[in-house]
């Protein structure tokens, strides 16, 4: 088994396309294996190509690969806006406006009028492809493979992985990031952008702020080997051993 975990995309379909090419090339350059690609959430918002990202992810982007799609807090926000137009007052200002623009929805570009939020919501529900809605509504919160627990934001320290709640899995930061506690498995996460991937004994963070840095990161796990694959030039690094060492 070979696992590829891809960090936060945030509306950068250009980087996603590049990453998929790199993942495919990496897999084909190695012995045959069961290849699983795990996306850690935050496909939408901030970047200008959210619709294009969902178009690509819902079209079986790599033949012969298995895919696991996890939910990020920005997908949760988009779904909340689809239920309640008033939530747009929050969502608009942390990336929702860019997502709406990618679907051709401009009612909120220059307006915070309550009626315009409802019009934007109705417009989104009208133009959102069925495949996109099904994708958003069926995202998983986490997945465990071997010694690793994959999730968008992290986990609450002191609580078993089986008892974690959605709010923490999608939103947690400081309590998780500052904890030296062993969580039962190595937690692979995104959500908190850093200049480069973060390796700790109990966690691996792979959000490198793609929408603003042009660097989308992927963690490749194969046996005892770890590799980081990125969309920038000359950025493939190899690591030996396990994250728990």
Give the pLDDT of residue 60. 86
CA atoms within 13 A on the CB side of 46: 18
Query: Cα 227–156–94 angle (5° rounding)?
Result: 75
Give the pLDDT of residue 92. 96
- Compute the distance between CA of residue 96 and CA of residue 165 in angstroms, rounded to an integer: 24
Give the pLDDT of residue 243. 39
Provide the 3-class DSSP secondary structure of residue 190.
coil
Query: Residues of the chain whose pLDDT is less than 50?
Result: 234-245
Give the pLDDT of residue 232. 74
Give the pLDDT of residue 233. 53
**Is there a contact between 42 and 10 (Cβ–Cβ < 8 Å)?**
yes
Region label for 11, one of left (φ > 0), alpha (ψ between -120 and 50) or beta (otherwise): left
The reported pTM is: 0.94
């Amino acid at each position: 088994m070979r696992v590829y975990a891809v960090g936060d995309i945030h509306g950068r379909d250009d980087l996603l396309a590049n990453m998929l090419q790199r993942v495919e090339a990496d897999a084909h350059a190695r012995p045959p294996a069961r290849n699983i690609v795990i996306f850690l959430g935050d496909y939408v918002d901030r970047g200008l190509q959210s619709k294009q990202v969902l178009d690509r992810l819902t079209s079986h982007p790599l033949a012969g690969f298995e895919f696991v799609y996890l939910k990020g807090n920005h997908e949760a926000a988009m779904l909340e806006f689809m239920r309640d137009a008033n939530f747009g007052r929050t969502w608009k200002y942390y990336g929702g406006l860019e997502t709406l623009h990618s679907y051709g929805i401009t009612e909120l570009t220059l307006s915070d009028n309550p009626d315009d939020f409802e019009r934007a919501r109705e417009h989104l529900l009208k133009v959102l492809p069925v495949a996109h809605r099904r994708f958003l509504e069926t995202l998983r919160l986490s997945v465990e493979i071997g010694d690793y627990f994959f999730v968008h934001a992290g986990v609450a320290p002191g609580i078993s992985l089986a008892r974690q709640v959605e709010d923490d899995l999608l939103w947690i930061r400081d309590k998780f990031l500052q904890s030296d506690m062993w969580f039962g498995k190595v937690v692979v996460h995104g959500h908190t952008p850093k200049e480069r991937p973060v390796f700790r004994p109990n966690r691996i963070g792979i959000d490198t702020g793609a929408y603003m840095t042009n660097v989308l990161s992927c963690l490749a796990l194969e046996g005892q080997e770890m590799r980081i694959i990125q969309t920038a030039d000359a950025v493939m690094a190899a690591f030996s051993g396990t994250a728990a060492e």
